Amino acid sequence: MAAFGPAGSLSTQRILIIAVPTLLLLIFVISAFHTGSVTAPLTAPIEAIKNGYHGIGESTDTGRRPAGFGGPESLSYGFSDMLYELYKPIKVPVTAKSYKDQRGKEFDVGGREIWKEPLGKDVLVIDLDTRKPDGKNEVFNKDKMDWETVKASGSGLLGVSHVNHFIYSQIHGYDYKFFHAKSMEPSHHNTWIKPHVLQQMIRDYKFVVFIDADAIIQHLEVPLEFLFNRWNISTNTSIAMPIDTQQIFEDGNNISLDSKGKIVLNSGVVILQNLPYTHEMMTAWTECTTEKRYKGCGDWKQKWSHEQRAFSEYIRYDFNPDGNNIVEIPCNDANGYPGLKGKAGVQDDCQGEFMRHYTLDKNAAKTSVGNAVMQSMGDLLQANWAKNHGNLLIEE
């Protein structure tokens, strides 16, 4: 400041000499960001994310842009920023006391307000697999995907759920990664990638939320913070997973119970919080099959249900000193789906109200992704219609 002397001593010419290159540099920087990956951060929307939820009442259809976006038409939002903005009119506030779904079912948080601020980029939503949906008619392939004929099986299923998990993460300003893991065969079944990869990823975040390829988020407008409050995930909680559905095979084998007769937790949804204790627990889980700590854990290297059973058989009994280090999410909220009961001996009628886990009907996952997107689009259209029908409707 001092270099310019007192205000007013700067000639118009000198101001122009400084301002023009600065403006050009600014335009260059902004467009460089814009041409980057779809998730490349843009400063202004990140600020908007930090500032949190803007409320249903706020006008969102004026074409108004955050400060810094007044430039030429080509300087628009990145894809992620657009999703974040688009859903603002219907996003449920993180501190909402309850949520009513499209069928009128109401879900409350039990009066808890543990998480009051949007966690934004402190949350990583992660897809994790040894496969990648980059084959023919799959989402990472460079050729145009034909959604109608996409197969919701094998790596195709990963592409289908990627659409759901990615869109959801961007709506709420969370980070998203697709982790393509190295195979662990033949020593371990590949589902054993979960403990060590999730432990690796939690180092850089406050929360990591893993959702299986056959698990679909139902209500795109409901943020994780609301669900954390509902599920009583506290500042001390290291891990949360849904309770499995009870399944009894024809031979009477109670497949979803551990050896103590307690129903297992389903590793189709894993929520980790970055606490020192979490790392201790995840190390014990990762190293379980070495049998240094848990004799007999080696049995679960290949035998179903692998890392899932190992967690419920050993880890959960050893790593829950305060009773809330491990949170068991109700089955009805984050496991099962309508119609699962009765199939292959499944006893419980868990609806997967917030996250449906299509263990026995992978094809239904695709329908579910479409429904979740169209439901939220419908909500947005209705919100827009309610406000703007005066401009859109002609009554004869």
Give the per-residue contact string, 228-267, with ligand NAG (x = CB under 6 A; - = no): ----x-x-x-----------x---x-x--x---x------
Positions of E strands within 192-268: 207-211, 215-217, 239-242
**Binding-residue pattern over the window 315 to 334 for ligand NAG, x denoting contact by CB under 6 A:** -------x-x----------
Q: Write each residue from 54 to 83 as x if it is in contact with ligand NAG (CB under 6 A), else as -, in one continuous string.
A: ------------------------------
Pairing of strands 98-100, 106-108: antiparallel
Q: Is 178 in contact with 313 (CB distance < 8 Å)?
A: no
3-state secondary structure of 173: coil
Dist. CA 309–CA 244, nearest whole Å: 11
Q: Which two structure tokens, joined as six digits, stand for 301?
A: 């290297």
Question: Smaller CB distance to ligand NAG: residue 33 or 277?
Answer: 277
Instruction: Choose between 247 and 289: whose C-beta lies nearer to ligand NAG.
Output: 247
Minimum distance from CB of 2 to ligand NAG (Å)?
52
Residue 358 CB, nearest approach to ligand NAG (Å): 24
Q: Distances from the Cα of 260 to the Cαs of 149, 250, 313, in angstroms?
A: 45, 21, 8
Confirm if 354 and 218 have CB atoms less than 8 A apart: yes
**Dihedral through CA 371, CA 376, CA 382, CA 388, nearest 10?**
-140
Shorter beta-carbon distance to ligand NAG: residue 326 or 364: 326
Query: Tokens 């990583």 map to which residue?
Result: 124
Q: Provide the b/e sequence for 73-103 (b: ≥16 CB within 10 Å).
A: eebebbebbebbbbbbbbbbbbbbeebeeee
150 or 272: CB nearest ligand NAG = 272
Q: Where are the beta strands (DSSP E) in 307-352?
A: 326-329
**CA separation for the pair 230, 253 (Å, rounded):** 33
In the complex, minimum distance from the CB of residue 323 to ligand NAG, in angstroms, rounded to a whole number: 7
| CB closer to ligand NAG out of 203 and 260 | 260
CB crowding 257-278: b at 16 or more within 10 Å, else e: bbeeeebbbbbbbbbbbbbebb
Burial (CB < 10 A; 0-12, 13-18, 19+), residue 133, is buried
Nearer to ligand NAG, 141 or 234 (CB): 234
Taking the complex as a whole, how short is the minimal distance between the CB of residue 37 and ligand NAG, in angstroms?
Answer: 39
Shortest CB 248 distance to ligand NAG, Å? 5
Q: Which is nearer to ligand NAG, 104 or 261 (CB)?
A: 261
CB 221 within 8 A of CB 90: yes
Q: Which lies closer to ligand NAG via its Cβ, residue 186 or residue 261?
A: 261
Q: How many positions of this chain bind ligand NAG (CB under 6 A)? A: 11
CB nearer to ligand NAG: give 123 or 329: 329
Site string for ligand NAG, 106-125 (x = CB under 6 A): ----x---------------
To ligand NAG, the closest distance from the beta carbon of 195 in angstroms equals 21
CB of 309 to ligand NAG, least distance (A): 16
Q: Smallest distance from the beta carbon of 235 to ligand NAG, in angstroms? A: 7
Considering beta carbons, is residue 248 or 373 the nearer one to ligand NAG?
248
Q: Least Å distance between CB 319 and ligand NAG? A: 11
- Gyration radius from the chain CA atoms: 24
For 191, other C-beta atoms within 10 Å of its C-beta total: 18
The distance of closest approach from Cβ of residue 211 to ligand NAG in the complex, given in angstroms and rounded to an integer, is: 23
- Using CB under 6 A, list all residues that contact ligand NAG: 110, 232, 234, 236, 248, 252, 254, 257, 261, 322, 324
